């Protein structure tokens, strides 16, 4: 076995280039025949001095020989890579049918090329259930492009990271290529960025396909539309990126440029439509655009318009008026600071060991809206705890200021002390309104002589009633329980954003080109479709684990190559998945997929 270097003449330019092949010589009778085991192409980069070591290492892997000396890590990596490709090429020549008994040297048994397969198997089945692979073909994707698109999406679900890390994972850690019959080890990193661009160009068609497929597959009711926004931050300044703007970060990273992702979901948590906005976009200004886009893609598919549910940040009067003008039912969190609640007129909509929720339904005489005042015992407990915390901090700050009046080099001037107290009242605004603070002035020195404070008597007004929030709606036919339970669906939307950020690698963003940013976010959202489809099906089977938990359970399920020497000198290589653990078996069974993903591939190499 050796490497043959061949010079090829260029017909047009008259120049030349070199190709490389691994060639094996075999004696047949009195003749020596040579055959190409593997074409290495033109990009073979190892120096000629390393070729003998590379060939010896390849032979070690193929025939179970022992190499006596340590070799360069790069040579070892390529040797295992080329040996695996040679074994894969030989597999069609072998039959894996029937029972095959052989005498082997058990001390020669080696297991190599472990590749994860469990998480990839589950998400690939979800992708095929949603017929995304078929949709890619309909959109004009070639076979390699479809494989790369699937690889990018599944990698984001199973190993969330940047496109660069995705490329490494697909090549060195994942067995997804074996399930797709595609060799990711021959794919350049630039191809990963190209497929991101291609997916983004087909975004509208892909989202519409998923929306319709999920609706029909799971019999989803189009009665509720949840809407909200989140933002994530960039690494770097991103000066040339038109999406990167500074604004209020929901992750408390306002020191970084931001980008905003808007999502429209149905009541089951499946995304209907997404859009990327600048990082400083006003939440309230995005609603009409998103709802209009959704309506344009689903016109004629529903008999009545869905109820729009959103939080107080988007529920401006302008947006409420727009919903009314366009005849959309809505349920929103009111921005009213004044809280009303009459417990004697309330109805219990939730009661368990952790929390009791009571609601009071009131009709607004001016607008005709239904106002639902909700009191949560858990929320009251939380608000009271926060109130105590801020009151304590406010009193501690006042005490520190008071003690400093008698200490050198501490704040004493009356005007400065008044100014400092004003800042404290601004910092602890909710606690400060409960106190009366008095500062006496020493006329001789002009300093503050004494600081006193006293807590006001508890105000007997409903606007300070802890644990109460207000919902407003024009759904006059719904009862209190339906209204409140519909509102709680917003927590599902918050869970989606948490999953996108913490489980699927939405943050941070390393791209500096606006289209690549949108592509990164879109791939993450496509991965969420696979994750949510999987979890939706598992929940119906009684498995309620988070995606992180499911991923950790499936991660150890690998495919390996078992190699051994036979008594007659042959080397046998068997590529198969390890046996599924009980928890993995439970997940596969609940989803109705194969317990041992991938085919069993047997290859026999002989030295004769």
Q: Model-level pTM?
A: 0.74
Of 473, 494, 513, the one marking the end of a domain is 473
Question: 61 — phi, psi (to 5°)?
Answer: -70, -40
Of 361 and 61, more confident? 361
Q: Tell whether the model's pLDDT for residue 143 goes beyond 70.
A: yes
**Structure confidence at residue 342 (pLDDT):** 86
**Structure confidence at residue 164 (pLDDT):** 85
Residue 88 belongs to what domain range?
2-93
Quote the percentage of the chain above a pLDDT of 70. 90
**Structure confidence at residue 254 (pLDDT):** 74
Residue 414 resides in a domain = yes
Q: Residue 597: which of 23, 119, 100, 6 has the closest Cα? A: 119
Residue whose tokens read 């179970």: 64
Of 10 and 447, more confident? 447
Give the Cα separation of 246 and 193 in Å (integer).
Answer: 26
Residue 72 resides in a domain = yes
602 pairs with which residues across the strands? 574
Q: Residue 61: which of 605, 520, 608 has the closest Cα? A: 605
The C-alpha torsion from 338 through 339 and 342 to 345, rounded to 10°, is 100
**Structure confidence at residue 607 (pLDDT):** 65
32-46, 342-356, 432-446: lowest mean pLDDT where? 32-46
62-66, 445-449, 477-481: lowest mean pLDDT where? 62-66
Of 61, 93, 125, the one marking the end of a domain is 93
Of 447, 473, 499, the one marking the end of a domain is 473
DSSP structure class, residue 592: T
Question: Which of the given ranges, 86-95, 270-279, 489-498, 557-566, has the highest pLDDT on average?
Answer: 557-566
Q: Tokens for 208? A: 């519409």
Sheet holding 16-28, edge to edge: 2-9, 16-28, 31-41
Q: Tokens for 503? A: 């489980």
Task: List pLDDT tens digits, range 47-71.
Answer: 888 888 888 888 777 776 665 556 7
DSSP structure class, residue 474: S
Q: Tell whether the model's pLDDT for residue 390 goes beyond 90.
A: yes
Question: Which of the given ranges, 52-56, 288-292, 480-484, has the highest pLDDT on average?
Answer: 480-484
Q: CA of 328: how far to CAs of 211, 228, 261, in Å? A: 20, 17, 23
Q: Tell whether the model's pLDDT for residue 93 goes beyond 60.
A: no
Residue 424 resides in a domain = yes
Give the Cα separation of 116 and 415 in Å (integer).
Answer: 68
Give the Cα separation of 392 and 12 in Å (integer).
Answer: 84
- What pairing do the DSSP bridges indicate for beta strands 307-310 and 330-333? parallel
Residue 317 resides in a domain = no
Residue 593 resides in a domain = no
Average of per-residue pLDDT values in the chain = 85
What are the respective helix, strand and coil percentages of the chain, to the nearest 5?
45, 25, 35
Residue 556 resides in a domain = no
Q: Which residues contact 497 (CB under 8 A, 6 or more apart)?
A: 228, 230, 263
Task: List pLDDT tens digits, range 255-264.
Answer: 788 888 888 8
Q: Tell whether the model's pLDDT for residue 78 goes beyond 60.
A: yes
Do 581 and 118 meet the contact criterion of CB atoms below 8 Å apart? no
Residue 519 resides in a domain = no
Give the Cα separation of 431 and 397 in Å (integer).
Answer: 12
Residue 30 resides in a domain = yes
Q: How many domains does the chain have?
A: 2
């Amino acid at each position: 076995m050796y490497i043959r270097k061949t010079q090829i003449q260029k017909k047009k330019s008259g120049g030349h280039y070199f190709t490389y092949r691994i060639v094996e010589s075999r004696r047949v009778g009195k003749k020596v025949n040579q055959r190409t085991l593997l074409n290495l192409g033109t990009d073979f980069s190892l120096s000629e001095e390393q070729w003998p070591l590379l060939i010896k290492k390849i032979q070690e892997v193929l025939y179970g020989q022992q190499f006596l000396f340590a070799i360069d890590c790069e040579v070892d990596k390529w040797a295992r890579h080329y040996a695996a490709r040679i074994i894969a090429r030989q597999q069609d020549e072998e039959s894996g049918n029937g029972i095959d008994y052989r005498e082997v040297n058990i001390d020669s048994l080696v297991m190599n090329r472990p590749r994860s397969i469990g998480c990839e198997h589950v998400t690939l089945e979800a992708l095929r259930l949603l017929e995304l692979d078929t949709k890619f073909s309909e959109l004009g994707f070639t076979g390699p492009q479809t494989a790369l698109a699937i690889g990018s999406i599944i990698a984001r679900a199973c190993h969330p990271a940047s496109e660069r890390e995705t490329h490494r994972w697909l090549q060195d850690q994942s067995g997804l290529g074996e399930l797709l019959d595609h060799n990711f080890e021959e794919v350049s990193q630039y191809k990963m960025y190209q497929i991101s661009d291609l997916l983004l160009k087909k975004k509208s068609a892909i989202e519409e396909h998923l929306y319709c497929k999920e609706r029909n597959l799971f019999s989803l009711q189009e009665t509720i539309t949840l809407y909200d926004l989140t933002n994530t931050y960039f690494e770097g300044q991103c000066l040339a990126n038109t999406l990167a703007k500074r604004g209020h970060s929901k992750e408390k990273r306002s020191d970084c440029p931001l980008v905003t992702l808007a999502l429209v979901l149905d009541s089951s948590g499946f995304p209907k439509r997404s859009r990327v906005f600048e990082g400083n976009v006003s939440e309230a200004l995005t609603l009409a655009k998103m709802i209009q886009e959704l309506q344009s893609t689903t016109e004629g598919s529903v008999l009545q318009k869905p109820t729009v549910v959103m939080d107080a940040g988007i529920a401006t009067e302008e947006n409420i008026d727009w919903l009314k003008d366009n005849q959309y039912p809505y349920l929103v969190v009111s921005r009213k600071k004044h809280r009303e609640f009459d417990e004697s007129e309330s109805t219990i909509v939730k009661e368990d060991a952790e929390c009791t929720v009571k609601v009071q339904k009131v009709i607004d005489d001016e607008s005709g809206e239904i106002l639902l005042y909700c009191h949560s015992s858990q929320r009251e407990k939380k608000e009271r705890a926060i109130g105590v915390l801020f009151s304590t901090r406010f009193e501690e700050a006042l005490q520190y200021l008071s003690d400093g009046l008698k200490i050198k080099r501490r704040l004493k001037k009356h005007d400065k002390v008044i100014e400092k107290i004003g800042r404290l009242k601004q910092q602890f605004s909710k606690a400060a309104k409960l106190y009366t603070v008095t500062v006496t002035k020493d006329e001789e020195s002009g300093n503050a002589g004494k600081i006193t404070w006293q807590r006001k008597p508890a105000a007997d007004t409903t606007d300070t009633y802890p644990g109460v929030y207000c919902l407003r709606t024009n759904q006059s036919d719904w009862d209190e329980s339906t209204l409140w339970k519909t509102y709680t669906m917003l927590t599902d939307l918050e869970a989606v954003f948490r999953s996108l950020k913490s489980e699927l690698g939405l943050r941070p963003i390393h791209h500096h080109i606006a289209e690549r940013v949108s592509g990164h976010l879109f791939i993450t959202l496509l991965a969420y479709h696979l994750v949510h489809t999987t979890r939706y099906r598992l929940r119906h089977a009684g498995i309620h684990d988070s995606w992180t938990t499911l991923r950790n359970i499936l991660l150890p399920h690998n495919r390996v190559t078992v190699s051994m020497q036979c008594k007659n000198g042959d080397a046998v290589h068997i590529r198969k998945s390890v046996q599924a653990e009980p928890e993995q078996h439970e997940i596969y069974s609940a989803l109705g997929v194969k317990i041992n993903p991938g085919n069993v591939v047997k290859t026999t190499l002989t030295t004769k």
